[in-house]
Amino acid sequence: MTLVCPYLVDTGMFKGCRIRKEIEPFLPPLKPEFCVTQSMRAILTDQAMICTPRIVYMVNFMKSFLPFEAIVCMYRFLGADKCMYPFLAQRKELMNNNEAKGDV
């Protein structure tokens, strides 16, 4: 069994998810093909866990010795705590537009 831990993947599923705009050039959303290739390689070689991009391994490593509060600060710095806000706002707007169309 392989645990797959991808970063944001550029698919329609979470279209609009964003990390902090200053960080995004260094960690852009991943291409789906890249994630599939990496995941399949890990599965076929019985790798226990695959993180893409590799920098995500550092987060897991840091979790082992840093206090929880430090990890939370890191997530906040990266904007990971708010990455779903644009996605949720977009979904809410779509739902409101659909409700408005239904009222007409």
- In tens, the pLDDT along 18-45 reads 888 888 888 888 999 999 999 999 999 9
Phi, psi of 75 (to 5 degrees): -60, -40
- pLDDT of amino acid 104: 46
Side chain identity, residue 7 = Y
Q: Would you kindly state where each structural domain of the chain is located, as residue ranges?
A: 3-103
Q: In which band, very low, low, confident or very high, does the pLDDT at 101 lie, cut at 50, 70 and 90?
A: low
Q: In which band, very low, low, confident or very high, does the pLDDT at 100 lie, cut at 50, 70 and 90?
A: low
The mean pLDDT of the chain is 86
> Stretch 59-75: mean pLDDT, rounded?
90
| 3, 17, 43, 82, 92 from 78: Cα distances, Å | 23, 13, 29, 9, 24
- In tens, the pLDDT along 3-17 reads 998 888 888 777 778
| 56, 88, 103, 104 from 100: Cα distances, Å | 42, 18, 5, 7
92 SS3 class: helix
pTM of the model: 0.66
CA distance 25 to 40: 26
